Amino acid sequence: MAEQEETNPWGSKSWSYLSSLRQQSPLIQCITNLVSMDLIANTLLAAGASPAMIHSILEIPDFTPHTQSVLINVGTLTPEWLPAMKAAAGVANQFGKPWVLDPAAVGASGFRLKACLELIELKPTVIRGNGSEIISLSMASIGSGKGADSLHESSDALEAAKSLAKSSGAIVAISGSVDFVTDGQRVVGAHNGLPMMQKITASGCAVTALIAAFVAINPTHAFEATASAFSVFGLAGEIGMGLAKGPASLRMHLIDSLYALDQETVLHRVKITSFS
């Protein structure tokens, strides 16, 4: 174990987050898009967390104070949902709970961009998007993506991510072939995962939910929690692909592999490196 910690400190860090998640089973409130609800709930359950898709503004004052973290994802945003998102972020702040923003398809419209910029004013702990989404947010401009899909490599968005992290105070995370995490100064890259994961709709939304769960375990170390969540999710995909025939069975085997991940596999196969 001591040797492992020396050779792969991120492996032991990631295992510590995952095993704590399984022991503590934090309650994660998810206000998310209509496409992602099932995959997010199942991903969180398989990882050991307790998801609740509670999004009515009428329920937030009673419910949000009892959660360990809040996920807000704007993938199918309408004007009716935005006040509930803002209210949940506000209650999370008031009660000292972390909250995580997924700016899904933020470049699709001015409405969505304005909503995300207003949400960022409410101080998310982490913002996770694909390359195009992080570029849109950082430049406050629309049109950089292709709906929910990215037109950019994650590395194309690295400078945008650093600048967004500095201006917002959030940890910024970019998914892609390498998943990057930055606080504006430090940058690490998580190398686990495989391209087929892009063919599972809402796999990005699911990794953001896992980030929310890992951040719930240690809100003061959101940078480490985010990088670990990326690698653990990617590793579950790699192992799942061993049994999968395509995107639909990968979705199933990824969830099964996340549920079954053991210490040795995490210690040996998590790959996170420093880029700063």
Ligand X SMILES: Nc1ncnc2c1ncn2[C@@H]1O[C@H](COP(=O)(O)OP(=O)(O)OP(=O)(O)O)[C@@H](O)[C@H]1O
Residue-wise DSSP of 50-102:
EEE----TTTHHHHGGG-SEEEEE-TT--TTTHHHHHHHHHHHHHTT--EEEE
Quick one: DSSP state of residue 148? Answer: T
Does residue 51 interact with ligand X by CB under 6 A?
Answer: no
- Contact region with ligand X (CB under 6 A), list: 9-17, 18-26, 147-155, 245-253: 147-155
Minimum distance, C-beta of residue 129 to ligand Cc1ncsc1CCO, in the bound complex (Å):
10
Helix, strand, or coil (residue 43): helix
Q: Looking at beta carbons only, is 71 or 270 nearer to ligand Cc1ncsc1CCO?
A: 71
Residues 62-101 within binding reach of ligand X (CB under 6 A): none
CB of residue 149 vs ligand Cc1ncsc1CCO: minimum separation in angstroms? 8
Residue 149 binding Mg ion, by CB under 5 A: yes
- The binding track of 90-109 with respect to ligand Cc1ncsc1CCO, each residue x by CB under 6 A or -, is --------------xx----
Sign of the CA dihedral running 237, 238, 243, 248? positive
Nearest to 31, CA basis, from 101, 111, 94: 101
234 binds ligand X per the rule CB under 6 A: yes
- Integer Cα distance of 26 and 39 in angstroms: 18
Give whole-number Cα distances, 214 to 16, 125, 218, 244, in Å.
Answer: 10, 12, 7, 26
Q: Tell me if 207 contacts ligand X by CB under 6 A.
A: yes
76 is a contact residue toward ligand Cc1ncsc1CCO (CB under 6 A) = yes
- Nearer to ligand X by Cβ, of 188 and 197: the residue is 197
One-letter identity of residue 82: L
Structure tokens at 37: 């609800």
By beta-carbon proximity to ligand X, the closer residue of 27 and 250 is 250
76 binds, among ligand Cc1ncsc1CCO, ligand X, Mg ion, none (CB under 5 to 8 A by kind): ligand Cc1ncsc1CCO
Which residues lie near ligand X (CB under 6 A)?
104, 130, 148-150, 175-177, 179, 193-195, 197-198, 201-205, 207, 233-234
